[in-house]
């Protein structure tokens, strides 16, 4: 690895340039601080990974950051509109973003400051000295693995962006929440043979209310096969093995070309724990002051979904964008 050390004295470094990281940066600007953002992919990479034709639950107003208006031709904006909005905000406010650079460690120093160590996509290492660190890394880095034989086969994906590659294919979708339902509806439109395998006994209450009737209608008409109270226990080249709930229920195989495991994701906690932050073993929620978002390590903050632990659905852009205000106020006071 080529070693390049750029020791920079920063007032604040934000790890993650998703909506919540960008929001924190804008709020810091409001109190006279120009933070440095470290982002291992592109700006708002998590939104980029959403299905191409995804429509948000929320109105554009609830997705705004920094008081900058988000206009949309739809009541609920599309993924494409959100990408344009957030990148325009970053450019307009001249945010300092080190894209495609991964934070590898946060090292507390004796004087109470930190050293944020990074590596870029070419293997070049860098180091940034800073008084404050905000970890806003989201939760798309680590999919919840199934832990079953065949999960590592190329036919298995934990991400779904568009349906075209699955035209005419037999696709098994694991899960029953919005990501699974949205994928099923998109796949149906391109002529895929869709089977949804869900542990639950009935439809998830979290399914978007304007989508559920359409989805149920297609299941009732036999256009989508819905296997409730079931799980996939093995994946092979041309089949998947389905195990219904119940001790005496026999497992059976169904023909299959691709598997979409819509099983959710979990945030990365290593940066925090290695820096001395406490993280609850059971809930994986970091110890932090909800009034300031500061962890038990002075000067080390969290923003966005990383504050939710395993319950990633408890924090969305609408609420996580508010964390930056609390953090900026705290840093300005110290």
Fold of 9-142+265-333: FAD/NAD(P)-binding domain (3.50.50)
* 228: nearest Cα among 187, 186, 180, 182: 180
pLDDT band at residue 310, thresholds of 50, 70 and 90?
Answer: low
- Stronger pLDDT, 253 or 266, i.e. the higher one: 253
pLDDT at 218 over 50: yes
Task: Provide the edge-to-edge strand list for the sheet that holds 252-255.
Answer: 230-235, 239-244, 252-255
Judged on CB neighbours under 10 Å (0-12, 13-18, 19+), 194 is: buried
Other beta carbons within 10 angstroms of residue 28's beta carbon come to 24
| Per-residue model confidence as pLDDT tens digits over 155-174 | 999 989 899 999 999 999 99
Number of helical H runs and strand E runs in the chain:
8, 21
| Per-residue model confidence as pLDDT tens digits over 127-151 | 999 999 999 997 666 788 899 999 9
Q: Which string of b and e fits 289-314 if b means at least 16 CB within 10 Å? A: eeebbbbebebbbbbbbbbbbbebee
- Give start and end residues of each alpha helix (H) in the chain: 19-30, 45-48, 79-92, 178-189, 212-220, 270-274, 317-320, 323-333
pLDDT at position 314 is 43
What's the pTM value of the predicted model, to 2 decimals? 0.83
Task: Provide the edge-to-edge strand list for the sheet that holds 114-120.
Answer: 9-10, 125-130, 114-120, 101-108
pLDDT at position 319 is 78
For the chain, the distance separating the N- and C-terminal CA atoms, rounded to the nearest angstrom, is 38
Enter the tokens of residue 137.
Answer: 């890394």
CA separation for the pair 103, 141 (Å, rounded) = 13
Instruction: Give, in order, the Cα–Cα distances in Å from 129 to each of 13, 25, 109, 117.
Output: 9, 17, 9, 9
Range with lowest mean pLDDT among 103-117, 270-284, 290-304: 270-284
| CATH class of this structure's domain 145-261 | alpha beta
| Per-residue model confidence as pLDDT tens digits over 64-114 | 999 999 999 988 899 999 999 999 999 999 999 999 999 999 999 999 999
Average pLDDT of span 207-232: 95
Share of the chain above pLDDT 90, in %: 75
| Per-residue model confidence as pLDDT tens digits over 48-66 | 988 888 888 889 999 999 9
Residue listed under structure tokens 């034989």: 149
Q: Is 327 left (phi over 0), alpha (psi -120 to 50) or beta?
A: alpha
Enter the tokens of residue 40.
Answer: 């291992």
pLDDT at position 176 is 94
pLDDT band at residue 311, thresholds of 50, 70 and 90?
Answer: low
pLDDT at position 147 is 92
Q: Round the average pLDDT of the chain to a whole number and report it.
A: 91
CA separation for the pair 61, 21 (Å, rounded) = 18
CA separation for the pair 327, 54 (Å, rounded) = 31
CATH 3.50.50.60 residue ranges for the chain:
9-142+265-333, 145-261
* 101: nearest Cα among 130, 124, 78: 124
CB distance 287 to 301 below 8 Å? no
3-state secondary structure of 90: helix
CA separation for the pair 123, 168 (Å, rounded) = 41
SS (H, E, C) 19-85: HHHHHHHHHHHHCCCCCEEEECCCCCHHHHCCCCCCECCCCHHHHCCCCCCCCCCCCCCEHHHHHHH
pLDDT at 1 over 50: no
Residue 265 CA, distance from chain mean position: 7
Average pLDDT of span 312-318: 58
pLDDT at 312 over 80: no
Average pLDDT of span 212-228: 96
């Amino acid at each position: 690895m080529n070693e390049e050390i750029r020791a920079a004295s920063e007032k604040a470094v934000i790890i993650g340039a998703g909506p919540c990281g960008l929001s924190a940066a804008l709020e810091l600007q409001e109190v006279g601080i120009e933070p440095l953002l470290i982002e291992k992919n592109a700006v708002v990479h998590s939104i980029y990974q959403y299905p191409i034709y995804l429509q948000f639950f929320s109105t554009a107003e609830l997705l705004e950051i920094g008081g900058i208006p988000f206009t949309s031709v739809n009541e609920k904006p599309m993924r494409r509109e959100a990408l344009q909005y957030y990148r325009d905000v970053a450019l307009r406010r001249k945010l300092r973003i080190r894209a495609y650079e991964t934070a590898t460690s946060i090292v507390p120093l004796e004087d109470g400051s930190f050293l944020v160590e990074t590596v870029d996509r070419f293997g070049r290492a860098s180091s940034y000295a800073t008084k404050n660190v905000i970890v806003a890394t989201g939760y798309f880095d680590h999919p919840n693995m199934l832990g079953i034989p065949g999960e590592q086969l190329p036919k298995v994906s934990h991400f779904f962006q568009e349906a075209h590659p699955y035209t005419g294919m037999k696709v098994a979708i694991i899960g029953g929440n919005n990501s699974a339902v949205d994928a099923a509806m998109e796949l149906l439109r391109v002529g895929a043979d869709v089977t949804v395998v869900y542990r639950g006994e009935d439809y998830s209450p979290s399914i978007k209310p304007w989508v559920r009737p359409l989805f149920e209608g297609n299941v009732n008409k036999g256009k989508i096969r819905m296997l409730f109270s079931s799980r996939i226990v093995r994946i092979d080249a041309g089949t998947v093995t389905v195990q219904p709930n119940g001790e005496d229920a026999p497992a059976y195989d169904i023909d299959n070309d691709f598997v979409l495991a819509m099983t959710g994701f979990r945030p990365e906690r290593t940066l925090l724990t290695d820096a001395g932050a406490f993280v609850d073993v059971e809930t994986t929620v970091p110890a932090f002051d909800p009034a300031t978002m500061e962890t038990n390590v002075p000067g080390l903050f969290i923003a966005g979904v990383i504050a939710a632990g395993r319950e990633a659905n408890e924090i969305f852009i609408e609420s996580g964008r508010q964390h930056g205000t609390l953090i900026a106020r705290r840093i300005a006071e110290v």
